[in-house]
């Protein structure tokens, strides 16, 4: 009886030794793997400003977000009285000095890689102002972390596309029942081509995406993108391009200024 | 990392700022200045590890039954106070403890709740439109951001206390953290020795 007890104790202490060695081995391996993994990650090449594995995950995250996207998910709108009068100015890329507003017209390319004259559309601000008006007060969110309740007015992007029969391969007005006819992306660019964004068609067609020419009920100030800017509340402010010069359509991602600097492409909220 | 571009968080009142998040030295020490895109990319990469690690850990504690040792009970809050006094060397009496003492139980359970909170607040500020309902429940976009940030500061504090405690409690304790069985080793070995000395003459 006593002998048996003794043996039990011995087994336990041998077990303890064995388990200690195994545990510390695993601990050490994980430590080395973590350290090595970190080094490996930082050694990787960059893809559009982000380390490749990070870029892969950012792209995958966008696919996950796509699952939850719905055009019925609206940004909260506030009464106009809540809108900030002192609107923050946070970027002037593409807003160069040699811009002649009197000569400005919106250039729209109906189809990519087509240089035929009837494929290009020149639209004046007056014409855009004749389209149905949409006024909106919402919390404008910057990727830098701040947000501000601001008021904007203009035309819904979807109304604009419908009116001019844009964004489709067939040249008809976009029809939500025929998504296959729509180009996958819209590209927008400043007149000097210095700032440019690409936006997926679903987000462009969102009922709160507008081509804005008003802020707080008066015409856009220069530093807010006079004469025409994009306001897209379902994305960070980096996508709300000021002073639009060109609009074009594409089935592949149009180039995007901040994407090239390492941000995710869709900047979706 | 994600907050570099705007120091929108601060501790203070009125126009008086006591601490701003983050002070300039913070950015220079950690070489974070102007690395917002980089920071965000890492953030949205490692969030998956955070999520998976937390999920696996919680599942393990449930399946193994370890949660019983981790979740505080009625006595824990009173005992945790005694643990604190003991750790601060205000009181000599060592409070009762099984695998974890009361303060540990509260800390290790809170950190899981905090982790869960980080997932929810994080999701709500990452996609405040698609998860608008979540954002609303958490008090709106600004509040959810603050909650997410405060939780993060909470981890830093937890981490610092944790490391300090590990250093104070020495090698045996550290070994136990890795192997999972300090109590048996430290306390049973002398017993085993006693037994051996008793039993040898009996042979």
Work out the minimum CA distance from B172 to partner chain A, whole angstroms: 12
Task: Write out chain B residues lying below 8 Å of A57, CB-based.
Answer: 44-45, 48
Q: How far apart are CA A72 and CA A207, in angstroms?
A: 9
Output B101-107 pairs: Cβ under 8 A, ≥24 positions apart: B102/B72, B102/B75, B102/B76, B102/B77, B102/B78, B103/B79, B105/B69, B105/B70, B105/B71, B105/B72, B105/B73, B105/B76, B105/B80, B106/B72, B106/B76, B106/B77, B106/B80, B107/B158, B107/B161
A36: left (phi over 0), alpha (psi -120 to 50) or beta: alpha
Residue A82 pLDDT > 60: yes
- Asked if B130's CB is within 8 angstroms of A6's CB, the reply is no
Q: Is B167 on the interface with A (CB under 8 A)?
A: no
Q: Tell the CATH topology of A78-260.
A: Sulfite Oxidase; Chain A, domain 2 (3.90.420)
Rounded CA-CA distance B134/B148 in Å is 13
Rounded Cα distance between A154 and A90, Å, is 21
| Rounded Cα distance, A46 and A260, in Å | 10
Measured between beta carbons, the chain B residues lying within 8 angstroms of A30 are: none
- Search chain B and give the residue with CA nearest A5: B195
Whether A97 has a pLDDT exceeding 80, the answer reads no
CB contact under 8 A, A143 and B188: no
Higher pLDDT, A49 or A260: A260
Q: Is the minimum CB–CB distance between B42 and chain A shorter than 8 Å? A: yes
Q: Which residues are CB-contacts of B63 (< 8 A; sequence separation ≥ 6)?
A: none
Mutation for B interface: A1, A6, A18, most B CBs within 10 A: A6
Mean pLDDT of A189-200: 92
Nearest to A204 by CA among A241, A153, A172: A241
B188 to chain A, any CB pair closer than 8 A? The answer is yes
Q: Residue A174 pLDDT more than 60? A: yes
Q: Give the C-alpha separation, B135 to B125, whole Å.
A: 7
Residue the block writes with tokens 């509040």: B143
Q: Would you list the domain boundaries of chain B?
A: 66-202
pTM over 0.80: no
The pLDDT of residue B6 is 58
Pairing of strands A106-109, A246-250: parallel
Q: Do B129 and A68 touch (CB under 8 A)?
A: no
pLDDT > 90 fraction of chain A, expressed in percent and rounded: 46
Q: Can you give the pLDDT at residue B171?
A: 75
How far is the C-alpha of B5 from the C-alpha of B2, rounded, in Å? 8
Lowest mean pLDDT among A107-111, A217-221, B21-25: B21-25
- Packed helices A2-43 and B182-202: angle between N→C axes, nearest 10 degrees: 150
Neighbours of B60 (CB within 10 A): 11
Q: Are A9 and B195 an interchain contact pair (Cβ–Cβ within 8 Å)?
A: yes
Q: Flag if B3 and A145 touch (Cβ within 8 Å).
A: yes
Count Cα neighbours of B175 within 13 Å in the Cβ-side half-sphere: 15
Per-position pLDDT tens, chain B of length 203: 444 455 566 666 666 666 666 666 666 666 666 678 888 888 888 899 889 998 999 898 888 877 777 777 777 777 777 777 777 777 777 776 777 777 777 888 888 899 899 999 999 999 999 998 998 999 988 888 888 988 988 888 888 888 888 888 777 777 777 776 654 444 444 444 444 433 334 33
Report how far residue A92's alpha carbon sits from residue A243's, in angstroms, rounded to the nearest whole number: 10
In this complex, do B6 and A233 lie within 8 Å of one another by their Cβ atoms? no
Lowest mean pLDDT among A67-81, A223-237, B127-141, B187-201: B187-201
- Residue A68: its chain B contacts at CB < 8 A? 127, 130-131
Q: Is B31 on the interface with A (CB under 8 A)?
A: no
pLDDT score for B2: 47
CB contact under 8 Å between A234 and B129, yes or no, is yes
The CA-atom distances, in angstroms, between B27 and each of A198, A258, B79, B149 are 32, 22, 40, 17
What pLDDT is stored for residue B191 in this prediction? 44
Mean pLDDT of chain A: 87
B129 touching chain A per CB within 8 A: yes
* Shortest CA gap A63–chain B (Å): 13
Nearest to A77 by CA among A133, A135, A157, A132: A135
B188 contacts in chain A (CB < 8 Å): 12
Check CB contact under 8 Å for A20 and B175. Answer: yes
When pLDDT is cut at 50, 70 and 90, the band that residue A153 belongs to is very high
């Amino acid at each position: 009886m006593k002998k048996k007890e003794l043996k039990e104790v011995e087994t336990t202490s041998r077990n303890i030794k064995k388990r200690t060695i195994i545990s510390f081995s695993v601990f050490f391996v994980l430590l080395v793997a973590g350290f090595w993994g970190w080094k490996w990650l930082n050694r990787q090449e960059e893809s559009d400003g982000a380390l490749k594995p990070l870029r892969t995950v950012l792209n995958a995250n966008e696919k996950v977000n796509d699952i939850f996207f719905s055009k019925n998910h609206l940004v909260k709108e506030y009464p106009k009285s809540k809108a900030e009068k002192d609107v923050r100015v946070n970027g002037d890329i593409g807003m160069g000095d040699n811009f002649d507003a009197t000569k400005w017209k919106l250039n729209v390319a109906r189809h990519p890689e087509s240089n035929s004259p009837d494929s290009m559309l020149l639209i004046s601000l007056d014409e855009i102002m004749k389209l149905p008006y949409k006024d909106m007060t919402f919390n404008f969110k910057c990727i830098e972390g701040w947000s501000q309740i601001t008021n904007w007015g203009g035309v819904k992007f979807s109304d604009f596309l419908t009116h001019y029969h844009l964004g489709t391969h067939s040249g008809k007005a976009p029809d939500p029942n025929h998504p296959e006819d729509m180009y996958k992306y819209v590209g927008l660019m400043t007149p000097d081509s210095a700032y440019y964004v690409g936006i997926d068609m679903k987000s462009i067609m969102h009922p709160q995406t507008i081509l804005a020419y008003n802020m707080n009920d008066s015409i856009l100030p220069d530093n807010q993108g006079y004469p025409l800017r994009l306001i897209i509340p379902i994305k960070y402010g980096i996508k709300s391009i000021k002073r639009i010069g060109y609009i074009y359509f594409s089935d592949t991602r149009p180039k995007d200024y901040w994407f090239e600097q390492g941000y995710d492409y869709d900047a979706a909220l | 990392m994600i907050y570099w571009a705007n120091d929108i968080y601060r501790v203070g009142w009125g126009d008086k700022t006591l601490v701003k998040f983050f002070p300039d030295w913070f950015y220079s020490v950690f070489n974070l200045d102007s690395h917002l895109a980089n920071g965000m990319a890492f953030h949205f990469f490692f969030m998956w590890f955070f999520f998976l690690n937390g999920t696996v850990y919680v599942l393990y504690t449930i399946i193994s039954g370890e949660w019983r040792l981790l979740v505080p009970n009625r006595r824990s809050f009173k005992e945790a106070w005694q643990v604190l006094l003991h750790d601060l060397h205000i009181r000599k009496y060592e409070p009762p403890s099984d695998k974890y003492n009361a303060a540990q139980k509260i800390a290790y359970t809170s950190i899981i709740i905090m982790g869960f909170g980080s997932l929810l607040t994080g999701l709500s500020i990452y996609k405040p439109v698609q998860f608008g309902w979540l954002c609303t429940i958490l008090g709106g976009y600004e509040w959810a951001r603050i909650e997410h940030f405060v939780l993060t500061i909470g981890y830093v504090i937890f981490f610092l206390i944790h490391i300090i405690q590990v250093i104070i409690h020495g090698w045996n304790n550290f070994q136990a953290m890795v192997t999972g069985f300090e109590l048996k080793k430290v306390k049973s070995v002398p017993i085993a020795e006693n037994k051996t000395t008793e039993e040898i003459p009996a042979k």
